[in-house]
Amino acid sequence: MANGETAIVTTESFGAIERQRNAEVASIAMAAKVKANIEAACIMAERHPRDMLQVRAQLLQECERPRFAEKARYSLPRTKYNPDTNEREKVEITGFSIRFAEAALRHMGNMSGSSEVVYEDDEKLTIAVTVRDYERNAILDDVVLVSKTTERSFLRRGDNPISSRTNSQGKPVYTLAATVDEITQRKNQLVSKSLRTLVLRLLPADIKEECEERCIAIGKDKFAKDPNAEIKRVVDSFEKLRVMPAQLAEYLGHPVASIDVNELQMLRGIFQAISDGDATWTEILEARNEERTPTEDGELVTGSRQAAVGAALDKAHAKLAERAKERATKAAKPPQAAATAADASQPAQPPSARPREPGED
């Protein structure tokens, strides 16, 4: 076909014949392919409807596998300010991981998740993420923005920074163009997180609660049978992220060998959150340091004890201020008191007893 010529494309779907005239035959063919796939999925969903009891049984069976139960949930420790107690409280944000969402999408059936780049320029990628439930005719979508730049606190040889700024610590931070690998990794993480959110919205709440309870129970049961083996496995998993046992001990505030089952579950969740791209180890440490406040003797305290230490320091400062005020008052009083005492010791002279001046009668 010569340049500038148009083509007539005839399509037939559900008994209707459509004729389109367009110069871009490739785009028409792609749209026809997508439409055909959706129609085929709708037909299969009508012929093979899902059984929610079967979905529930299959997901619970997945959660029975210890390795899957470990990776099915993530945990993000955070701190928030409580205005009632006037202190920062530790909170733990938990949820299902991307691995669990993938299993849910697989067992639910008659569903699909897709992503498509809808806009791209030199600074960002705009990706449309869509999850379709062909059986219920439910469509959920989301938009993901992937930046093509990255920030570093140092420059390598040959780097040409786009811009620079100064962070809160007074150090320079440079904005550089991200590499292809960095953009691809960032895109995969953001798209996976978006798909996880959309898929979990379509999964019934009661099934999610049962799966969460089963995963927690499986993890505790494994720890009860062989705690040393479970601790070693958690340590080994963090070593893959270049987080050494000494760093874990610093984060926990005690040796890793003495952790309990709740702390083990928390570490598993943190590892999964880092693996899914929800957080980094640096962010986890920053959240931990926010809830710790040093006392006068250098000891770190948290929670209600932090409030008690703060109250004690305020009380001590009030006493010091009161003593300083008393000393200032005493320093100002002696001259006036001495003058008053001297005046009181001298007898009062009547007016007639005063010496006469020369020339007075």
Domain boundary assignment for the chain: 52-294
> Which of 56-65, 233-242, 252-261, 312-321 shows the lowest mean pLDDT across its residues?
312-321
More confident call, 123 vs 306:
123
Calculated CA dihedral for residues 76, 82, 87, 90, nearest 10 degrees: -20
Instruction: Look at residues 45, 203, 218 and name the one whose alpha carbon lies nearest to residue 136.
Output: 45
What pLDDT, on a 0 to 100 scale, did the predictor assign at position 162? Answer: 85
C-alpha dihedral sign at 192, 197, 203, 207? positive
Tokens for 214, please give them.
Answer: 């089963």
The number of beta carbons lying within 10 Å of the beta carbon of residue 196 is 25
pTM: 0.64
More confident call, 172 vs 307:
172
Instruction: Name the pLDDT band for 79 (thresholds 50, 70, 90).
Output: confident
